[in-house]
């Protein structure tokens, strides 16, 4: 199934390739930098234990509320128009004291869906059927049934869940694109991630942008180059634009 939200760096186009590279045997699946969870949602089940994690607290709250209260989140959006006024109001209310988790989830959902390129900052101004997208929340809720939702820094999640039968799928903010995420992520974090992955007993599969810094960091691991079309660049440049990425594994 598809995710219920667009997300900057979402792996909608790469999910099939990533899953084909999964090892044969693992008994727990951990999506460390969850985002919209495109790889998680691509299969009905990856393993007996599945964990979705993202450090963005509003996003983890949205996933949790959709899992447990899809109808209530839907009610929050009912009557909301795809308009700049709603968008600006919801953005300014998001961190307000007194909102319930479900109210925050509804607002964040609307902000993601109606922002420009899911940047959550500027109003997109394009046609969106918000009601149709909320109808999908019950299916998402069923899929998330049994998925543990976490809101931690990657290092903590990796350390807690590491064991020989674990598979970590990691999709960190790409090197140079960190400013697009609320959480921030600098070179020290990229190095911290590599150091952490060096020590694990489980298996990891990591997607990154193909740049010198990344290739240097992971030179001791298996690295496969992949490319996909970049629709956003194509829209502006008006020609085929390929985006080069790497998939790195320790198996
Ligand atoms: C490239 S996106 C993941 C996209 C996701 N694979 C998808 O298909 O939608 C990277 C994610 O990492 C999260 N993130 C940033 N810093 C983090 C940290 N220190 N620990 C865990 N997650 C973090 C961001 O909030 C963002 O959602």
Nearest-CA residue for atom 25 of ligand 1: 56
What was the pLDDT predicted at 132?
80
- Would you say the CB of residue 207 lies under 6 angstroms from ligand 1? no
Q: What is the tens place of the pLDDT at every residue in 214-242? A: 999 999 999 999 987 665 555 555 555 67
Q: Which residue has the tokens 């989830």?
A: 105
> Residue 79 Cα, ligand 1 centroid: separation in angstroms?
31
Give the Å distance between the CA of 109 and the centre of ligand 1.
17
Instruction: Write out the E strands in 16-139.
Output: 28-31, 49-53
Residue among 4, 8, 17, 33 to mutate when testing ligand 1 (max atoms within 8 A of CB): 33
Ligand 1 close to Cβ of residue 183 (< 6 A): yes
52 CB near ligand 1 (under 6 Å): no
ipTM: 0.99
Q: What percent of the chain has pLDDT over 90?
A: 80
Up-side HSE of residue 153: CA atoms within 13 Å toward CB?
A: 10
Q: What pLDDT, in 10s, does the model give residues 167-213?
A: 999 999 999 877 777 777 999 999 999 999 999 999 999 999 999 99
Residue holding tokens 């709603």?
86
Q: Among candidates 67, 40, 41, 28, which has minimal Cα distance to 204?
A: 28
* Per-residue model confidence (pLDDT) at position 88: 93
Band of pLDDT at residue 250, cut at 50, 70 and 90 = very high
Question: 21, 28, 14, 7: which is closest to 148 by C-alpha?
Answer: 28
CA distances from 248 to 18, 22, 28, 89 (A): 10, 11, 19, 42
Find the 118 Cα to ligand 1 centroid distance in Å.
Answer: 14
**What is the rounded average pLDDT for all residues in the chain?**
92
Report pLDDT for 172: 97
Q: CB of 160 within 8 A of CB of 30?
A: no
Q: Please state the pTM of the whole predicted model.
A: 0.93
If DSSP codes are grouped into helix, strand and coil, which group holds residue 202?
A: coil
Burial 25-40 (b: 16+ CB within 10 A, else e): ebebbbbbbbbbbbbb
CB-ligand 1 contact for 106 (6 Å cutoff): no
Q: What is the dihedral of CA 169, 114, 64, 37, to 10 degrees?
A: -10
CA dihedral for 188, 21, 40, 180, sign (positive or negative): positive
Is the pLDDT assigned to residue 86 strictly greater than 80?
Answer: yes
Mean pLDDT value of segment 43-59: 97
Cα 39 to ligand 1 centre (Å): 13
CA 142 to chain CA mean position, Å: 18
Shortest-distance Cα residue to atom 19 of ligand 1: 153
């Amino acid at each position: 199934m598809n995710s219920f939200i667009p997300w900057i760096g979402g792996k909608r186009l790469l999910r099939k390739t990533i899953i084909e590279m999964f090892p044969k045997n693992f008994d727990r699946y951990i999506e460390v930098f969850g985002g919209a969870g495109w790889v998680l949602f691509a299969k009905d089940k990856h393993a007996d234990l599945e964990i979705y994690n993202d450090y963005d607290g509003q996003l983890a709250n949205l996933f949790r509320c959709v899992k447990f209260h899809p109808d209530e989140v839907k009610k929050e959006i009912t009557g909301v128009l795809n308009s700049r006024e709603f968008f600006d109001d919801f953005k300014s209310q998001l961190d307000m004291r007194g909102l319930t988790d479900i109210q925050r989830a509804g607002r964040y959902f609307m902000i993601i869906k109606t922002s420009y390129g899911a940047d959550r900052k500027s109003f997109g101004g394009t046609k969106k059927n918000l009601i149709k997208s909320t109808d999908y929340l019950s299916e998402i809720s069923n899929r998330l049934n049994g998925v543990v939702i976490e809101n931690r820094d990657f290092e903590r999640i990796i350390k807690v869940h590491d064991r020989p039968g674990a598979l970590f799928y990691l999709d960190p903010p790409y090197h140079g694109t960190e400013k697009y995420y609320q959480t921030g992520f600098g070179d020290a974090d990229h190095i911290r991630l590599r150091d952490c992955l060096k020590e694990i007993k489980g298996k990891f599969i990591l997607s990154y942008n193909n740049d010198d810094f990344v290739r240097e960091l992971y030179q001791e691991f298996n690295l496969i180059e992949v490319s996909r079309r970049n629709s956003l660049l194509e829209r502006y440049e008006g020609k085929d634009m390929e985006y080069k990425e790497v998939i790195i594994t320790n198996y």
